Amino acid sequence: MSFGGRLSVVLGLFVIAAGFAVWGVVGFLLPTTPTIDFTSAQAAGAPVNLTVQTVPSIGFGSHPTWVTYMVKDPSGQWQHATIWKVPAHTRINLTIEQYDSGSPLRNQQWGLVAGTTNGVETLNGQAIHLYDSNSGNGVGHTFSIPTIGISVPLVGISGDATNTCSVAPCGTHFDHNVIKATFVTPGPGEYPWQCFVPCGLGFLFGNGGPMSAVGYMGGFLDVTA
Ligand SMILES: [Cu+2]
């Protein structure tokens, strides 16, 4: 091989190595969503209260316009975190404050409540098994854990609402719906959860941005023994 050829190989390898180095450093520096630990919040075997909210725009951080989930940690503080550590084989009392509006679903299957106790959720106190998103305010998001068959549709607030929240965490004086459901955690493992409504406004088909980012419209249920 000529000197020029060898030089090209060396330079090429150097560029590849530099690329990996930059990728590693950026990955290390990028913010990661913290894990909220619910395993020691109550006596062993006692139900875990998991309270979350869905907000139309987080209002702070690197993506202030993104739609997001928030979670209330065991000390009662709202956190921007979507990885939740919970005990196995334990009842979860899920409460979701939904501050976002909704729309008709592209897939009516997402209006079905699945995997919860008795296959129902309560919407502002009213038990429902299936929400027809072509009626009323439509559905804004779902809280779904596909690997264990759980899905909870989050009915939107009125599209005409004026008392809406734009900076998380949202106080309950803003217009919102309260959705409750209970379910029992499976055995230990990492179970991804996500929203199935393409709610990433401004992204292709609504599936980019917050829909494809852990920390916004998806996360993990970290189930431990
Ligand atoms: Cu969503």
Query: Are residue 118 and residue 87 in the same domain, yes or no?
Result: yes
For residue 25, the CA-to-ligand 1 centroid distance in Å is: 30
Q: What's the one-letter identity of residue 110?
A: W
If asked whether residues 132 and 49 sit together in one domain, one would say yes
Same domain for 3 and 45, yes or no, is no
Mean pLDDT for all residues in the chain:
92
Q: What is the pLDDT of residues 156-166, one digit of tens each?
A: 999 999 999 99
**pTM for this prediction:** 0.86
Q: 73, exposed or middle or buried, with CB in 10 Å at 0-12, 13-18, 19+?
A: middle
Question: From ligand 1's centre to the CA of 86, what distance in Å?
Answer: 22
Domain that holds residue 20: 1-30
pLDDT at residue 103 in the model:
95
> Which residues are near ligand 1, the ion (C-beta closer than 5 Å)?
141, 195, 197, 199, 217
Q: Are residues 113 and 182 in the same domain?
A: yes
Q: State how beta strands 126-128 and 139-145 pair.
A: unpaired
How many whole angstroms separate alpha carbon 109 and alpha carbon 123? Answer: 18
> Which pLDDT does position 157 carry in this prediction?
97
Ligand 1 centre distance from Cα of residue 150 (Å): 15
Task: Please name every residue paired with 112 in a beta bridge, in sequence order, or none if there are none.
Answer: 130
Q: Is the pLDDT of residue 76 over 90?
A: yes
Looking at the structure of the chain, the number of domains it has is 2
